[in-house]
Structure 1
Amino acid sequence: MEDAAFLEEVAEFLDSFDVPTFPPAFLEAENSLMGAEGPSASSGAAIATTFASDGAAPIGRKKTKTKQLKAKRNTTPSDRELHKAKDRKRRNEYRERQKIERESLQRQVGDLSAELEQVQKIKENEEKEADDLMLPILAWKTIAKRQLEGRLASETQQRKLQSAVRARAALIEDLSGLVLKRLSEGDLIVSRGLGESSFGQKRIRLEPADTAIFEAYLQGLNTIYAQTEEAFRAYGMDAMLDDATVNTKQAWQHDGKTGCFQFVSKQLMPFSFKQTCQSLRHVAVMQHRQTDRELYYDVEDPETTMALKYRITSRQTSGRVMSVVLRVVARRFEERDRVVTIWRSFTEGEGVFTGMHSDETGWCVAKPSATSSAENTLLEMCIRNVPMHFRSTATLEPAVEQFTDLVLNSGTEDSAEITGMLEKLLLADA
């Protein structure tokens, strides 16, 4: 637009001046030269004739001056107007070419801008898809690495046991006679410590594999936090009523050959937003889970981030004890008008559940209620639990169902326990 305005001003400036008047013979020679396809002998002769007729050849000073004055007198106003018209036509043609070229460049700019925007959108979608794929891939890599480490440790332990068995076999062969003479069979069992207490369950402790899982899950917490609004929309949080005391729904979501369990809850707490957030800090540490509880302290901000490991056991009607080990990481994000708590947990089966795993992602948002007239707080919770079983265990239907029930029931117990503790704290502070 600035170039077009500048060209218009130049055109008006040129039109305000008269173009110098040239002899008619010179104009005719100029036209004959412009109409020719290229330089030739005829064009040169025309130029020579023109200069000769106009007195350009040095015939004499007096004669030249006389012819020039005569040519000026012979130039009429119509000739000058004609020449001005030709100049204006040339300027208009030049401006028209500039306008066409400018419009062509503007169209190219528009096309290239649209192409650039499309490429940027494709790149953003690819980056988003890559982030979504990295979380399950990272979990599977962690599982595979843990299984490999367990296999290598088992093979090393097996070699040690085989060596110990061979050494003990030789020792037993030498001392068997003496042992049979001096000790009874019961004394032998007691002396070797083979009572019921020797078969008790060992206490879990943090291992290098646990550190790898914690570090991998801690790195993904910020990505999960960025997906809060998207997760709430996908699971229909906005469609649930805000004024209900407790509103929950759970379902199994199919995803190709696999799927996930979804749990959505919305609860109205009759307490202030500030008071509710303060109480949430105390109940979020899951103090009700104390069985073989171990904390992971290598976190960036212990005030807002937590990582721990614990065991959950369940006894069947037959008397068999089933257990799973959970590794949980959680982080709290405090915003101006809400507090977002997100967590990620990895559940690993033990005993009959060996080879069975599940990956859970959860979001909990506390914010002031917008529909209630009183000073209330709205708690919104969304949980996604994805089973992750190896093919060798996927065919064990009863065990898989028992594992799934244990995991889902433990999640329901956690939600009920945390809600109950929160209400008790709020009532005590009221």
Structure 2
Amino acid sequence: MEDAAFLAKVAEFLDSFDVPTFPEGDSLLGVEEPSASSGAAIATEFCFERSELQKAKDRKRRNEYRERQKIERESLQCQVGELSAELNEVQRDKENEEKEADDLMLPILAWKTIANRHLEVRLASEARQRQLQAAVEARAALIEDLSGLLCKRLSGDALVENLGLGEASFGQKRIRLEPADTAIFEAYLQGLDTAYAQTDQVLRACGMDAMPYDAVHCKQTWKPDGKTGCFQSVSKLLVPFSFEQTCQSLLQVAIMQHRQIDRELYYGVGDPETTLALKFRVISSQTSGRIVSVVLRVVARRFEERDRVVTIWRSFTEGEGVFTGMHSDETGWCVAKPSPTPLAGGTVFETCIRNVPMYFRGTATLEPAVEQFTDLVLNSGTEDSAEITGMLEKLLLASA
């Protein structure tokens, strides 16, 4: 097909030349025939023309190819522009959606934060309510047991009042552990952990930090609390012995060996290495010569921390004889820790005791007897502190 087109173009090319007119007849005889050199020139010119045509065709094809490439490039550039515009629009839409989502999330997050905070407060309140309910139930059980015990005492099991005939005629019955004692011990043992958790709060409230370390300081005051109140005794003592040595000796004096009158131990304490429960009687002679007595039930527990030893005790005092119907509830905190002055050395004892008097209806009107009962309870506590401190100093001096 291409050869036919080529021959057609060659024919057109040859036709473009003027054909010479030849004379007719004999006139042709006088004309010379073309030479061989002119034929070669024609062939050469023919090949040249053919080459030029081929080059023209190649140029045309290249031009057409470049034109197609240009058109495709322009088309692709247009597509790139369109797609870029579409991408920008999609990105703007996405950014707007994210912004709208963020705007919607802000109040949701705030609501969640508030809801979580309310939930935490609610859970804490419920936990506190459960603790208070448990404490109320324990105290109610204790009150019920005490009521039964006191009713038994008031109905005829109380001590016979002394008539001034001397201690031999004082109608005491030797005390022994009874079912009611077990209930009291169990209730008071449960309260030791609660009192231990309040140690730092109690010491701050009584101004322990403001008391100096260089001497013995002790004060006893009445601390009102609504219609009731308590006697509070606060003391701070510095002993010139190492903390480790003092704590070892403290284990030996904390068992109150000086209280031996009708002493009975309660063995259901769980951990006898750190906990003590006992019952004993305290007898005192008044200025009138009359012998009076009270029965104490005491529980104590030692809590060892990294840099201090905390001793917590609770005691229930029951009046006998003329003191029947009179009671006292005591809670004590004693913290032993190294002296804050390393050069001075020694051990510091910080002690706070709260004693709450309790009287049954009818006994509160017996003002002299109530005052005497209170004096006996407070004095016995002072005697215990002095006795334990003296025994501790003796042990420390002996081991020094």
TM over 0.5: yes
Give the whole-Å Cα distance in 1 for the aligned partners of 2:79 and 2:384.
106
Give the whole-Å Cα distance in 2 for the aligned partners of 1:198 and 1:240.
48
1:309 matches 2:279? yes
Partner of residue 203, structure 1: 174
Q: Is the Cα–Cα contact under 8 Å of residues 245 and 269 in structure 1 kept in the other structure?
A: no
Cα drift, residue 148 of structure 1:
4.4
| Identity %, equivalent residues | 61
Give the whole-Å Cα distance in 2 for the aligned partners of 1:199 and 1:268.
42
Cα drift, residue 283 of structure 1:
1.0
Partner of residue 192, structure 2: 221
Partner of residue 233, structure 2: 263
1:391 is paired with a residue of what secondary structure? coil
Give the whole-Å Cα distance in 2 for the aligned partners of 1:278 and 1:80.
86
Q: Is the Cα–Cα contact under 8 Å of residues 328 and 356 in structure 2 kept in the other structure?
A: yes
Q: Is the Cα–Cα contact under 8 Å of residues 217 and 344 in structure 1 kept in the other structure?
A: yes
Q: What does residue range 288-367 of structure 1 map to in structure 2 within 5 Å?
A: 288-367=258-337
Q: Is the Cα–Cα contact under 8 Å of residues 142 and 183 in structure 2 kept in the other structure?
A: no
Give the whole-Å Cα distance in 2 for the aligned partners of 1:402 and 1:204.
22
1:408 matches 2:378? yes
2:208 is paired with a residue of what secondary structure? coil
Partner of residue 42, structure 1: none
Q: Give the TM-score taking structure 1 as reference length.
A: 0.67
What residue identity is the alignment partner of 1:238?
A: D
Q: Is the Cα–Cα contact under 8 Å of residues 215 and 238 in structure 2 kept in the other structure?
A: yes
Q: What does residue range 120-269 of structure 1 map to in structure 2 within 5 Å?
A: 120-123=123-126, 125-126=128-129, 137=140, 139-150=142-153, 200-242=171-213, 244-269=214-239
Give the whole-Å Cα distance in 1 for the aligned partners of 2:366 and 2:317.
18
Cα drift, residue 88 of structure 1:
4.8
Give the whole-Å Cα distance in 2 for the aligned partners of 1:86 and 1:210.
85
1:94 matches 2:111? no
Partner of residue 46, structure 2: none
What residue identity is the alignment partner of 1:359?
A: D
Cα drift, residue 381 of structure 1:
0.9
Q: Is the Cα–Cα contact under 8 Å of residues 348 and 357 in structure 1 kept in the other structure?
A: yes
Residue number among 312, 333, 353 corresponding to 1:383 in the alignment: 353
Give the whole-Å Cα distance in 2 for the aligned partners of 1:77 and 1:333.
79
Greater relative CO (CA pairs within 8 A, separation 6+): 2
Residue number among 369, 389, 399 corresponding to 1:399 in the alignment: 369
Q: Which has the larger radius of gyration?
A: 2
Partner of residue 279, structure 1: 249
1:416 is paired with a residue of what secondary structure? helix
Cα drift, residue 340 of structure 1:
1.3
Q: Cα gap change, 1:320/1:148 in structure 2, threshold over 3 Å: closer, same or farther?
A: closer
* 1:8-44 C-alpha deviation (Å, 9 max, x unpaired): xxxxxxxxxxxxxxxxxxxxxxxxxxxxxxxxxxxxx
Q: Cα gap change, 1:79/1:397 in structure 2, threshold over 3 Å: closer, same or farther?
A: same
Specify every segment of 5 or more residues in structure 2 that has no aligned partner in the other structure, as ranges: 1-74, 158-166
Q: Give the TM-score taking structure 2 as reference length.
A: 0.71
Q: Which moved more, 1:351-360 or 1:315-324?
A: 315-324
Q: Cα gap change, 1:200/1:87 in structure 2, threshold over 3 Å: closer, same or farther?
A: closer
Give the whole-Å Cα distance in 2 for the aligned partners of 1:363 and 1:199.
35
* 1:302-352 C-alpha deviation (Å, 9 max, x unpaired): 222111111111112222111111111111122222111111110000011
* 1:91-131 C-alpha deviation (Å, 9 max, x unpaired): 34433332223323222222212222332443455456557
Q: Cα gap change, 1:263/1:135 in structure 2, threshold over 3 Å: closer, same or farther?
A: farther
Q: Is the Cα–Cα contact under 8 Å of residues 313 and 322 in structure 1 kept in the other structure?
A: yes
Q: Cα gap change, 1:352/1:86 in structure 2, threshold over 3 Å: closer, same or farther?
A: same
Partner of residue 111, structure 2: 108
Specify every segment of 5 or more residues in structure 1 that has no aligned partner in the other structure, as ranges: 1-71, 155-195
Q: Is the Cα–Cα contact under 8 Å of residues 135 and 220 in structure 1 kept in the other structure?
A: no
Give the whole-Å Cα distance in 2 for the aligned partners of 1:138 and 1:248.
35
Cα drift, residue 222 of structure 1:
1.7
Q: Cα gap change, 1:134/1:233 in structure 2, threshold over 3 Å: closer, same or farther?
A: farther
What residue identity is the alignment partner of 2:185?
A: F
Q: Cα gap change, 1:77/1:210 in structure 2, threshold over 3 Å: closer, same or farther?
A: closer
Alignment RMSD: 2.8
1:394 is paired with a residue of what secondary structure? coil
Give the whole-Å Cα distance in 1 for the aligned partners of 2:79 and 2:216.
100
What residue identity is the alignment partner of 1:204?
A: I
Partner of residue 373, structure 1: 343
What residue identity is the alignment partner of 1:293?
A: R
